[in-house]
Chain A
Amino acid sequence: MERKSARRGHAALTAAGMLLAAGAASAHPHMWIDARAAIDIDEQQRITAVRQVWRFDDMFGAYATQGLKKGKDGSLSPEILQGMARDWMQALGEPISHYFTRVTVDGKTAVFAAPRDARVDWDPKTTRLTLSFTLPLATPVAPGARGAQVDIYDPTYFVAYAFEENGAVSLGGQDARACTSAYRKPKELDWKTMQQLAAIPADPDALPDELFAITKGLTHRIEVRCP
């Protein structure tokens, strides 16, 4: 009897402690992006660049443009939009974000050169912003028969991507026809992966690689093959 109620007390404490552990966080998406990606193939059948178009959700569009000087029709000046593109690309270039994009061939991660053609468009009617940019590879890589993997995702799960529009994934460049692409949706974040994610130490430098290793199958993956 005594023991029993002691155990009950113990259990109540554990339960309360569990619920009190407030900060043990795992993110939830606060932003949604309807994305498109085109992968450029040169005449030697190498991947040269990944071109992306990210259309943000309407809530984010309203928030990000709040207070900015707008025209009568709700439009934003080219200067403002350019500034936005510049700021975002700079932030995306940080190691922790790494443009939320990764190109892998034979298990090796390709290095990106400086991004170009970054621009932001604003649709005042839908309150949606669109960021477009090209991510060139520092050295073009040949996917070969085994293929190259282009992974796009936010490892922090703050942004949820969707490649659901028609033609959201495509090949471009001089010799696009020589290659094929296949898109694979991320699987649902499962219990076990969440546990692994949670076990990662808070070291920002190590984070992307480790996260990448764990989050296999959780990315939007484009498989490119040039047979």
Chain B
Amino acid sequence: MPLAPALLLLTVLLLGGPGAAMAQGAHPFGVPESGAGMGGPGWLAGFFGQVSVWQSHFYRQLTGAVRAWQADGGAAWTLIGLSFAYGVFHALGPGHGKAVISSYVLANRQTARNGALLALVSALIQALVAIALVAALALVFNATAATMNNATRWLELISYALVTLLGTWLVWVKAIRPLLRGRARRVSVAAAHDSHGHFHGSGDAHAHGHAHVDAHPHAHPHHNLHDHGADCACGHAHAPAPEQVAGPLNWRRAWAAVLAVGLRPCSGALIVLVFALAQGFFLAGVASALAMGLGTGLTVAVLACLAVAAGGAAERIGHRLSSKGAARLRYGVEALAALAVLLLGVMLLGGVIAGGG
């Protein structure tokens, strides 16, 4: 059953949704994150439970570390180290960031390098958003916690809307369009040749995309920059070596994923920033937020690489079946990853709206 692993993947991806969506209900004490979310299979919750114990452990020590730095410049590294550790465990815990990044990477057949880059950049953006938010609202306008909570909710809403949009786009490109193309090709082989468009629109003069079913690793130098969505419906299964897909990241397309993840600041970072500000030592908060971002980014980068490895593994499984099977499997993985992004976005958005966001 070539699709079994892909289905498994989707199932687990989707299990992430309800918990994340549930976490929206406001906590009585008005902190921009509620911990009410619980969902997914038990062993998974158990894993997250253990992660959260560690996360709290580091978080609790942050105030002491800010004060220690204030008293003694040499203690800066304590705060930075604690913040980094907090970031690592934050990334391992609940949150939509790694799901979006990993699914995006899977759906777009990005390389491990690009996946890691995406993860790091979005975590950096997330830290910068937190810093900018607190600097602008608290430092400049002396806004209240309620205002900052509101601003966070808006950013959250935009972020989740972006996840939904990204998901919609991915589902169209990865799941629906290849099917339409496949049908068109069955009608006429010639038509298939024409419809085999890559998104660059730079002409399809290359000898590629005929309905041949032999698995041949021919090189497509221009592939590097483009999506492979259309390949799936071509009926031929060539597996580009990692070097071939390892082109630079297409930022024009990746920005949606980066913003979807990075726009919503982590509440831990917000609170540390405000605390540092109250101590008259905003710099410590900035350092802490950046260290958290680095910890989160590196962790998500590792997860994204795992996703890439899993995608590669699925492809290898498919190859042993038949070239057709491989193409189908690849289509399955990409389409399901795309669907996962969409459903996650819908659930997150629904959670905010239901919660009176």
Q: Which residues of A contact B (CB under 8 A)?
A: 2, 5-6, 8-10, 12-32, 56-60, 62-68, 87-88, 91-92, 94, 96-97, 127, 156-160, 189, 191, 194-200, 202, 204
Could you say which of B44-52, B168-176, B187-195 contacts chain A? B44-52
Q: Is the CB of A30 within 8 A of B31?
A: yes
**Interface assignment of B246: CB less than 8 Å from any CB of chain A:** no
* Closest chain B residue, CB of each to CB of A204: B25
- Provide the bound-state CA to CA distance between A202 and B271, in Å: 28
Q: What is the bound-complex CA distance between A197 and B102, given in angstroms?
A: 27
CB under 8 Å from chain A, chain B span 69-108: 92-99, 102-103
Q: Which of A2, A10, A20, A91 contacts B29 (CB 8 A)?
A: A91
B240: chain A residues within 8 A (beta carbon):
none
B322 close to A (CB within 8 Å): no
- B277 sits at the interface (CB 8 A): yes
Q: Given A10-B5, A25-B22, do A30 and B278 touch, yes or no (CB 8 Å)?
A: no
Known A15-B310, A20-B98, A30-B31: A66·B144 in contact at CB below 8 Å? yes
Binary CB contact string for chain B from 28 to 62 against chain A (1 if under 8 A, 0 otherwise): 11110111111111111111110111011001101
Quick check: A17 and B56 within 8 Å, CB to CB? no
Contact yes or no, A25 B41, CB < 8 A:
no
Give complex CA distance A27, B143 in Å: 28
- Note all chain B residues with C-beta closer than 8 A to A6: 316-317, 320
Check if B8 sits within 8 Å of A158, measured CB to CB: no
B56 to chain A, nearest CB (A): 4
Say whether B9 contacts A198, CB under 8 Å: no
* Residues of B that sit less than 8 Å from A by CB: 4-6, 8-9, 11-13, 15-23, 25-31, 33-49, 51-53, 55-56, 59-60, 62-63, 92-99, 102-103, 137-138, 141-145, 147-148, 267-268, 270-272, 274-275, 277-279, 303, 306-307, 309-310, 313-314, 316-317, 320, 340, 344, 347-348
Given A26-B48, A28-B53, A198-B45, is A21 in contact with B12 using a C-beta cutoff of 8 Å?
yes
Distance A28 CA – B271 CA, assembled complex (angstroms): 15
Shortest distance between the CB of A26 and any CB in chain B (Å): 4
Q: Which of A25, A56, A59, A199 contacts B93 (CB 8 A)?
A: A25
Contact of B31 among A14, A60, A68 (CB under 8 A): A60
Q: Are B21 and A23 in contact (CB under 8 A)?
A: yes
Residues of B within 8 A of A2 (CB): 320
Q: How far is the CA of A68 from the CA of B268 in the complex (A)?
A: 21
- A22: chain B residues at CB < 8 Å are 16, 20, 94-99, 344
Of A18, A63, A65, A202, which is within 8 A of B12 by CB? A18
